[in-house]
Structure 1
Amino acid sequence: LATCEMCGMVGVRDAFYSKTKRFCSVSCSRSYSSNSKKASILARLQGKPPTKKAKVLQKQPLVAKLAAYAQYQATLQNQAKTKAAVPVEGFSWGNYINSNSFTAAPVTCFKHAPMGTCWGDISEGVRVEVPNTDCSLPTKVFWIAGIVKLAGYNALLRYEGFENDSSLDFWCNICGSDIHPVGWCATSGKPLVPPRSIRRQMTEGKQSIFLRNFFFPCYFKVSEGMQYPFKTSMRVEVVDKTHLCRTRVAVVESVIGGRLRLVYEESEDKSDDFWCHMYSPLIHHIGWSRSIGHRFKRSDITKKQDGHFDAPPHLFMKVKEVDAAGEWFKEGMKLEAIDPLNLSAICVATIRKVLADGYLMIGIDGSEAADGSDWF
């Protein structure tokens, strides 16, 4: 056996480099030679007598390197475990509106949105029961708060009894699960406890007045408005975002505010998703594409997965009936259409296919793919 004089590698002597078998490779031989020259020059500059064989900085053996690296990795893992998680704060509409004195568009402007038709019943001054954060009790307690300002679904609330003191004002979603009408605590057996800051000023008489006079007029409408017909695990047909000319099967992964997160059925890691409103014309019941003659990408999954079920046809937005008996669209006709890939552009387009129930397939002139994969 032999030991490399440069890196410390131990190996079979016959496999080593050079006649003297001092190095395990050409690179070690060159590195040794280079370092020897540097050491010799440094010695002369320092006035030391030249030596026959200059000293070379020896590298650690490979086993020692591997051990040191393993220890380094273990240290990093321990640090990651012990390091406290740094909370990531999301965007706060309330703070953004308040700090810039902006005005939010009211919910009533969006008729398709949850509570859009009855949001007028919610206004500043309405009282609700919310969790009391100014309390040292170990259990969750509630107190009455009034709406100071509205910004969409968000409300700036102030605990009852604080009058003009805004020190504990807070923003919350008025449709959240922790917002209840006044009287809810009494009927649900939940404790109604004043905040510590004003507890001494409160009397039983004042508390009873609050319970009698303030209420949340449309609480039940809010509860109903947050119920959606689409449920998770429902299967639908949705436009293929990579080929607008066809649809494919997707599964409802989550429902938030009437909007559906759809995951294409073939996506194993659920990263291939698509967001749309539950009344969007881009989604349809299973079998819709075949019924009107639309292109459809067959799923690679031959068997429906456990727990998945087809969404009933009545949940989808109904299309107005059209009378195609007289003058009607025909293939090759020209028209103007918004380019789906550039919504700011209105382009000359051509009707490429006439489907059933009044549906058309359209291509943008001058930019169509030869196979029609960009028709919409």
Structure 2
Amino acid sequence: MTVVEVCGYRIKLHFDGYSDDYDFWVNADCPDLFYPKWCEHNSRIVQPPKNYENNFDWNNYLRVTNTLPAPIWNFVSTYNLGSCKKNKFQIGNKLEALDKLTRVLPKQLICVATVADILGNRIRIHFDGWSDDFDYWTDITSTNIHPVRWCDNNGRILTPPNGYNDFKGKKPFSWTEYLRETNSKPVPENAFVRRPLRDFVINTTIEVVDLVVPSLIRIAKIVDVKGDELKILYDGFDSNYAYWIEDDSPDIHPVGWSLKTNHPIEIPREKECLWSCKVIGCNGKGNSNSLTNNHIIAKDCPYEWDSWKKSVAGLSKLSDRLKNVSFSCDTVVQ
């Protein structure tokens, strides 16, 4: 990957060999970033640039592209992975986990899942019976993951592996049988140590990365709090645009963070001063249909209602960078 832009404490990254459509913004201390040769040092496989024909070698690649490696001391999160306290999660263990695509739906799905990978105190969740397109990384203290039989013990419905009912007929899902059939073990119950909830309060103000134009940071108000979820609304936008975000999201910051890190912040637009797209709160920045930084008409506005709903639901218009498979479904903003 290449750093293509730096703004305050945030960086824009580009996948070498791929379209700019896949560029994305992260905080400089993002735990998903690794220094060059990290994979080599940790027995991992690094994905080479698209159409790269030679065996990948960092020294050769840097020489050919006439580029420099990012300094290793920039990678505080991943450089110290080895010092993380050992936890009781193991690759292959079973658990119950929230399907994050259903986070904004009235009926959330909690599914049979497997620990697919581990990095320090973070685990990769894989939903049994599904492709890895739906995998996600989460901290071991997350409230999105639960021990086996958690649904039974808490009056929730557990979604069995995809295709399991076709194989088993109408027979109810049984963890005892499934663990035996898959020759697997559950994550120990005492491995699930919940972090304390943050002290967020309704009607207080935060700074947040714009959901649909992630180069921007906006002023937002917390309009509701449920456990570790915050419902936030950008200042100047209609109340329909309020959405839920996890309270440990790297995209939320305290008031003054932008000033402290020298990052621009969007000033709310007066409601009577509508942009040409006629979306209240929009200032013409961003484009839902191209890489341009602005728009004029509503169909190109990233805050246009249908486009906004898909973004809130976590649905991307882009096909998978490696598999070229897209996923879509209907959803609503709650």
Tell me the TM-score normalised to structure 2 length: 0.32
Tell me the TM-score normalised to structure 1 length: 0.29
Indicate the structure whose relative CO is greater, using CA pairs within 8 Å and at least 6 residues apart. 2
Q: Which structure is higher in helix share?
A: 1
